[in-house]
Chain A
Amino acid sequence: MMSLSNEDLLAELKRRLESGEIAPAQLQAELPVPQDTEAAGEENSDLLEAQQAEESAQTLSHFQTFSLTRLLYVVGGLLVILGIVYFMSQLWDGMNTPMRILITLGMGLVFASVGSVFLILEPERDIGNVFHAIGGCLVPGGALVTLDELVPGVSTTGPVALTMGLVFVFYLALVLYHQRVVVNFFAFASGTAFIYLLSDSLMPAAGADYYAYLTMVLGLSYVLYGIAFTGGWNDRLLPVLYFFGPLGFYGAAFSRVANTRVMEILFPFLAFGGLALSVLLLKSRVALVLSTLAVIGYIIYLTTEYFANSLGWPVALIFLGFIIIGLGYLSVNLNRRFL
């Protein structure tokens, strides 16, 4: 039986891995990982995490570096989007159905495809992200235009929800393949729109209460995504998630404060809980600011609702002013000490 040297064996293994004859998971399964010793497993896992963290840090530092090229990409991308929108608005009435679909969805898919090609060929450059950003601005609208052109007179949200669901699946597939923030952003946008449209199509009678609680759940979901993404390739999405998550959560909860007694009692706990959470767990300034605004909003509500008439409006204003100053001071101190 012919025996291979270690170098040859590794070279052969590498070749087969690259050609796809052996899947990385298959190889990993065959490796003798010591199952009985917990410590060894932990060690491997720690090593892997350390490597991933290092790679993420490298990627992050690469992306955070400002360059003129990147600025030109952003300006160029914006100009392209503006140009396309202006071009479409000028010629829209004179265009027939195939042309309308081609110029919106078709062009969006072309940009997304070019973006994907660049991300595969030159993953270290931003050019792929720029093409995906332009594509992302066109694909959802293009899909809806396609629906409107092919099924005229759609009066229910069911088909719209289905279309947005397909756009979401499209971007989810791109996220799994590319693992890039730009496509993940559009996956979040289309996914969120899909949930609202699905709700409207399945429960047309759903009222403001339902949508408020749904928005709270989505806000919570955004924050959970943010915690899960911390330190990973999705790190750059954190400010977006920590802005829209608490904004949706507190905005929706606050909209119910005046209508629901339970929410009126629960809201201060949510707001102060968010304040603590944003400092201790999320370590996010954006979340801290929004939690502080939620507390301020609640105190303004309480003052106008219960104290303005008894204390008199000017006294209530003075009281309110001092509380807001105190909260601002607390927020700034928390920011300095913990963030």
Chain B
Amino acid sequence: MSENRKRQLLILVAFLLPLIFVSVVIVVSIFPSATLSTEYNFLYATCLDGRPGYSFNCRPYLASLYQVEDGKLVEKAVPPELDSDRDGIPDIQENYRARLFIHDTAKNQSQEVRQPEAEQLQLSDLLTSPDGLTVEWDYQGGGDFFFVFGSRSRSGYYLTRGNGRQRLELINDSNRYYYQDDLLFLGWILE
């Protein structure tokens, strides 16, 4: 092989090396996420207080209101002294409006259900589904990149298994900003 050909080959290798590295990492990191799926749907609750935007810190209210007992959703009385957002007004006077949703994991979309209908569902109150997936909230704060553009951040609920993660499109997700506290995962639907 002539010296010139060797040089050209070396330049080609040097050019392709970073691209191959990036491609391999993308394939390795995207593949587990792309193949992530579960045959189970899940039930969750959100709370709103009627004001625009999000109602952060009402999760304790939801956790008091809804519980899973013997695989069934049950409504409990909220303790009168509970003040989730610590604003001096008890939760029972906050006008919180709780809503229940079934999330279809195959279509990645949610459907609101009425409480009596939700109470008929057979639920698993474990965080992990029978086939090993979990619903997790994640926030990655973004600093400015090359100090040119504004801050980036990606937050929200994800379906995860190991390194694989798939973003869940939940109701009111875009209004959630970087708070997770107006949503409560209630359980995986077994039947």
Contact = CB atoms under 8 A, between A and B. Distances in A.
Nearest to B151: A155
B149 A198 contact: no
Interface stretch (B22-30, B48-56, B98-106): B22-30
Nearest to A161: B145
Interface string B133-152: 00000001010011011111
B107 interface: no
A198 B7 contact: no
Interface in A201-229: 202-206, 210, 213-214, 217-218, 220-222, 224-225, 227-229
B23 to A, nearest CB: 10
A157 B152 contact: yes
Contact of B14 (A157, A204, A225): A225
A224 B10 contact: yes
A232 interface: yes
B191 interface: no
Contacts of A52: 4
Contacts of B14: 221-222, 224-225, 228
Contact of A224 (B13, B19, B149): B13
B121 to A, nearest CB: 33
Nearest to B6: A228
A76 B13 CA distance: 38
A153 B13 contact: no
A205 B152 contact: no
A48 B4 CA distance: 9
A148 B149 contact: yes
B88 interface: no
Contacts of B36: none
Given A49-B3, A210-B25, A220 B152 contact: no
B154 interface: yes
Contact of B18 (A42, A49, A153, A195): A195
A229 to B, nearest CB: 8
A331 interface: no
B17 interface: yes
B21 A45 contact: no
B7 A228 contact: yes
B11 interface: yes
Given A214-B21, A217-B17, A228-B14, A202 B145 contact: no
Interface string A178-205: 0000000000000001010111101111
A154 interface: yes
B93 interface: no
A144 interface: yes
Contact of A156 (B4, B13, B152): B152
9 contacts: A160-B146, A195-B18, A195-B22, A197-B145, A199-B25, A202-B22, A214-B21, A225-B11, A225-B14
Interface of B: 2-4, 7-8, 10-11, 13-15, 17-19, 21-22, 25-26, 29, 140, 142, 145-146, 148-152, 154, 165
